[in-house]
Structure 1
């Protein structure tokens, strides 16, 4: 995730790309090169213009298999550019979104994880996505190293479900003022602050031409359980 110094998760165009820079991009490419699958919310995939993913150029030697993309969507709707592509993403959705998802991508790419009201049991709404079950299914398919790229609501849901073991945060040397949200969002209740441990801290004294210098990239270890 990337944030401005004053905590904004995006710039004036409502995209995180407007506040990142070459230093952030360099780390971002390495993270993708090492992952089995990139997990992203459908809204972020749509807003950021996601397409089918490849290993970053020059870093393909870091991982032997193709990079997968998994989209989390309550409604089952997949951004058209992804649904129509030659390499459709995996789709994590609940029972309410299953039929819609199967209409957008092949059935074997749809992972239905959530409460089905037809079973007569009380539980979460039928459009809810059980992220723990979704990650377990990705692992069963050999996709155990998951890079979650957001957005803020998905990150909030993953944290609430205690499913985040590392958090990589770039702090961009910029101020965006009021308006943009934080890198963590959602409608869930406030939780007790959780202590995390700094594992790496990188500093870039230079940035892209015309931009201020001072980007920092931190890797935080998050306790689970």
Structure 2
């Protein structure tokens, strides 16, 4: 892997600083993707998504065919740094989400930041159409959260709680209000926030103006077809502007990071 941006001092002795091609350690990746200082006292929502060259956010319903070994290492690093991983119910179902696990590689870093052993998984759902007998709900290292609205089914909310999940009301209707959802998580001390989609959920965060950062893997693949883009839903009135923060490259994959202007 090599760093393309930001451009570094080519007289530097460090391989990472000089941008040379080498196998990055998890510590190097964690340093490169560290949350900004403001995340410790406020909140910071970043998204991690992958896209093909022709704009597909998935292939045959899943993101894995667009991914690579390096992409999965960054995926794991972003999880290792987060307080909470936010995902829509459809993504949880299609990707077969399991509880987040504690990883030795991030244990010291998480302890120093006052974080728990693993990130909380927060599932966003209006219908609560989820299998609450799955390990994600019955066997997590830290309790799974279910983010929903006050208008969702009381019976399904009770079922989620019986399974061991914590239900968080973050909207007046059946669905969530994005601003209220990220605020509710921050109030629980879950300030370093990571969303893994899907497209509809990411579109909600974009439209609400609460997305601070996008980590986008550009996969050197073409899929054609009618797959969704990484963000869906109604278009915003004025396009949201982001500035490039960093670009890494390996095996033709570009690992980009953009921050909201």
TM, length-normalised to structure 2: 0.73
In structure 1, the partner of 2:149 is 94
Aligned residue number for residue 104 of structure 1 = 160
Alpha-carbon separation, structure 1, partners of 2:74 and 2:232: 23
Secondary structure of 1:52 counterpart? coil
- How many aligned residue pairs are there? 203
In structure 2, the gaps of 5 or more residues are 1-48
1:83-110: CA deviation from partner (whole Å, max 9, x where unpaired)? 6522251011011225112212348710
Residue of structure 1 aligned with 2:109, choices 62, 76, 85: 62
In structure 2, distance between residues paired with 1:196 and 1:189: 16
Q: Which runs of 5+ in 1 are unaligned?
A: 116-125, 207-213
Query: CA offsets, 1:5-39, max 9 Å, x none?
Result: 1111112x310011100121111111111100000
CA 1:3–1:130 in structure 2 vs 1: closer, same or farther (change >3 Å)? same
CA contact (8 A) 2:148 2:176 kept: yes
Distance 1:56 1:28, change over 3 A: farther
Shift in Å, 1:76: 2.5
Alignment partner, residue 221 of structure 1:
259
> For residues 105-140 of structure 1, what are the alpha-carbon distances to aligned partners after superposition, in whole Å with 9 as ceiling and x for unaligned?
34871001212xxxxxxxxxx213112112111111
2:92 aligned partner = 45
Contact 1:29 1:56 survives alignment (8 Å) = no
The 10-residue stretch of structure 1 (50-59 or 27-36) with the greater mean CA deviation from structure 2: 50-59
> What residue number does 1:9 align with?
57
Counterpart-to-counterpart distance in 2, 1:193 and 1:84:
37
Runs of 4 or more above 4 Å deviation: none
1:191 Cα shift? 2.9
1:129-181 superposed Cα distances (whole Å, 9 cap, x missing partner): 11211211111111011000000000000001111000000011110012211
Q: CA RMSD in A?
A: 1.8
Structure 2 Cα separation of the partners of residues 19 and 57 of structure 1: 27
1: distance between equivalents of 2:93 and 2:186?
A: 25
Quote the Cα distance in structure 2 between the aligned partners of 1:193 and 1:112.
29
Q: Would the alpha carbon gap of residues 113 and 17 (structure 1) be closer, same or farther in structure 2, given more than 3 Å must change? A: same
